[in-house]
Amino acid sequence: MYAYKQFGNKFVLSIQNRTEITEAVNAFVKEQNINTGSVYGIGMDGKPYLHLHITLGRSDYTALTGHLLTANIHGACELMIEKLDGDVSRKYDDETGLNLYDL
């Protein structure tokens, strides 16, 4: 599903072609016991919770941006993941309707 190389608390992750991205990242963070990290928002209710931002380039050099809910790789996907010491959980915020960091 993926290959990775570790440099201290940082990981270089390469997800295989045609793999669903969030499935692979969830499997990786579970395997590495990463509960908090720089791939936005890992950690909710004791299990990984992905909050991924994405920028996609078009052939005319314009871009689309937003949240990545699900996607399949067609070509390559290469990510950097950094493990942070400690845990950060989230809680639902009535005002925004979002699951925000509970610090």
Query: CATH number of the domain that 80 lies in?
Result: 3.30.1330.80
Angstrom distance (rounded) from CA 67 to CA 57: 15
Range of the domain at 54: 2-102
How many domains does the chain contain in total?
Answer: 1
Q: Does residue 89 carry a pLDDT above 50?
A: yes
Closest CA to 33 of 77, 87, 70, 80: 87
80 Cβ contact partners less than 8 Å away, ≥ 6 residues apart = 10, 11, 12, 13, 38
pTM of whole model > 0.85? no
Q: What is the pLDDT of residue 4?
A: 85
Confidence band for 63, pLDDT divided at 50, 70 and 90: very high
Q: Does residue 31 carry a pLDDT above 80?
A: yes
40 Cβ contact partners less than 8 Å away, ≥ 6 residues apart = 50, 51, 52, 53
Q: Does residue 42 carry a pLDDT above 50?
A: no
